[in-house]
Homo-oligomer: A and B are copies of this chain.
Amino acid sequence: MLEFKRSFSVDLTEDAQKNMDETMSSLKNEMDSDEIGYYKLPQTSQEIIKKIENLDLPNYSQIVIMGIGGSNLGIKAIEQILRPYGKDIKEILYLENSDPISISLTLKKIKKDEALFFVISKSGGTIETTSAFKSVISYCDLKLEGDDAKRIFAITDENSALSEFAKHYDITEFNIPLNVGGRFSVLSAVGVAPLMMAGFDVKSLLKGAGDFIESFFDGKEAHLIEKAYYASQNVQKLPINVLFSYADRLENFTKWFVQLWAESLGKIDKNANHVGLTPVGLIGAVDQHSFLQLIIEGTRDKSVTFIKIEDFGSDLSVPDITLFGIEKTNFINNKKFNLLINAQCDATMQSLIDTKVSTDIITLDFVSPENIGSLIAYFELLTSATGVMMHINTYNQPGVELGKQILYKNLQG
């Protein structure tokens, strides 16, 4: 279960209510018309699960993922937070960047005869991904036929270049619905296929997301649309949105959020203005020692959302040891670390409230696939709602094309 609280107040004027109602209708229309497909992934991805259940898989102990951006951030996020709570989860390796040192180090960890290989790219033309794939083929001496081919999976758009590739070599293919963009695709085959094969409970993940989306469209998550309204009304005053997660293993989740928020909301709006909200991902308590000073005393241009995990499922306590000289921290002796990190979260939030910084907090009662599914759905819906209120196209990313064109020109020319 997720609990939502906030310190800022939203002035629910008639205009505000109208804006929020219209936004809800707009999202519902996106969903019902199938213009945007992520809303229905908890249902449509059931097919992926069935397909995998019926696959005749070779033995494996390792998953190798070749993908970047929307094609791996969500997988990394879910793996990192759920792994300590899973049983018999396979190792996952990621090849993403074009960094030669990373590629060399990761290639060495691959156990060819124990690995399943996932090539993930919506278009099939992602240069980092195809280059990594060729490196894996060469390093592992992977054949594109027979037993080797059974270890390779392509996750891509229908009829894409990568889909053509898969069909040609008789490689198992999973499709991403055409109405689901990369950064909204984690609950499509992109996340479901590799995570399920790694041993994660993707059914519960989808259930958590589906339940939250249903609850939202049933009008039971008013806090979400109010927060989107607050964010969109404060684009000028609070252009930076901090996500402060109090758990080391939410670091990749904050990176997933950063892509979702930055790429979706950084746009030229319908009046040709450059608009955007800048996400910053922080980890507590670590970043109390790095970034908190700036939030408290720096320019008041930030809102802060905390994520807290009520029960980490750990009884680890601070040992009851007294050390000469440093006795003054003894007050924490015998207390659980679980209590300490959450007390730090509460105290930091209170210090921000006391200094009039806009804050809100999402509390997970514990870490579970359901809760993480709900959390994913929450941020996706929040992004969609905020995008409508900012009068932008939330789902494209035209700004990155120029760099690609320059790259192709420079390298091909």
Seen from chain A, the residues whose Cβ lies within 8 Å of a Cβ on chain B are 68-70, 73, 84, 96-105, 124-125, 127-128, 130-131, 133-135, 137-138, 144, 161-169, 182-183, 235, 239-240, 246-249, 255, 258-259, 262-263, 265-268, 274-278, 280, 283-286, 288-302, 312, 314, 316, 318-319, 321, 323-326, 328-329, 331-333, 335-338, 340-341, 343-344, 346-348, 350-351, 354-355, 397-400, 402-404, 406-408, 410-412
Contacts and interface: CB of A to CB of B under 8 A. Distances in A.
Secondary structure class of chain A's binding surface, majority of residues: helix
B319 A298 contact: no
Contact of A347 (B101, B284, B403): B403
B292 A325 contact: no
A308 to B, nearest CB: 12
Given A68-B289, A295-B266, A344 B278 contact: no
A323 B133 CA distance: 10
A165 B325 CA distance: 5
Contacts of A312: 99-101
B314 A101 contact: yes
A86 B129 CA distance: 29
11 contacts: A103-B316, A131-B318, A131-B332, A165-B325, A165-B326, A240-B240, A266-B294, A266-B299, A278-B302, A297-B399, A355-B402
A318 B323 CA distance: 56
Contact of A161 (B127, B168, B249, B325): B325
Contacts of A267: 293, 297-298
A356 B279 CA distance: 22
A410 B402 CA distance: 53
A403 B348 contact: yes
Contact of A326 (B124, B183, B335): B124
A314 B97 CA distance: 15
A101 B247 contact: yes
Interface centre among A297, A321, A337 (most CB of B within 10 A): A297
A216 to B, nearest CB: 25
A98 B329 contact: no
A238 to B, nearest CB: 12
A410 B321 contact: no
A331 B412 contact: yes
Nearest to A401: B351
A285 B404 CA distance: 11
Given A99-B337, A278-B298, A410-B343, A162 B326 contact: yes
A80 to B, nearest CB: 11
